[in-house]
Amino acid sequence: MDTVDSLRGELEACITHINASGLSNLDPQNIEKLDKFSALAANLGMNSGKKLIENLSAVLKSFREGKSREESVQVRLTAIDFYLQNIKGGGEEEL
């Protein structure tokens, strides 16, 4: 995975899986994937994407530990979704 479009597709699949399974059934592998995606975003120069992914990963970890509320996770999922929709089709990375 070495293009913005391929990373976007993988990230969309991960976010879809998180939404479909629900936060009460959060798979730790999805958090691991987010950490990997964050590093890939940095390598691709996707600075905004990297920050959003890191933020989502951190709040998911915090949620699993009972330190964050579901609303916090939902806000970050919405932000990632907005970001992904705006880079679809080669749109500008930096918003």
| Helix locations, the chain, DSSP H | 4-21, 28-43, 47-64, 70-87
CA distances 87 to 6, 12, 61, Å, are 11, 12, 26
The sign one gets for the Cα dihedral 45, 48, 53, 54 is positive
What is the value of pTM for the model shown?
0.88
The answer, yes or no, to whether residue 3 has pLDDT greater than 80, is yes
Instruction: Retrieve residue 58's tokens.
Output: 């951190």
Parse the chain into domains and list their residue ranges: 4-87
List, for residues 38-60, the tens digit of each pLDDT value: 999 999 989 999 999 999 999 99
Give the pLDDT score at 1: 56
b/e per residue 62-85 (b: at least 16 CB within 10 A): ebeeeebeeebbeebbeebbebbe
Q: DSSP class of residue 3?
A: S
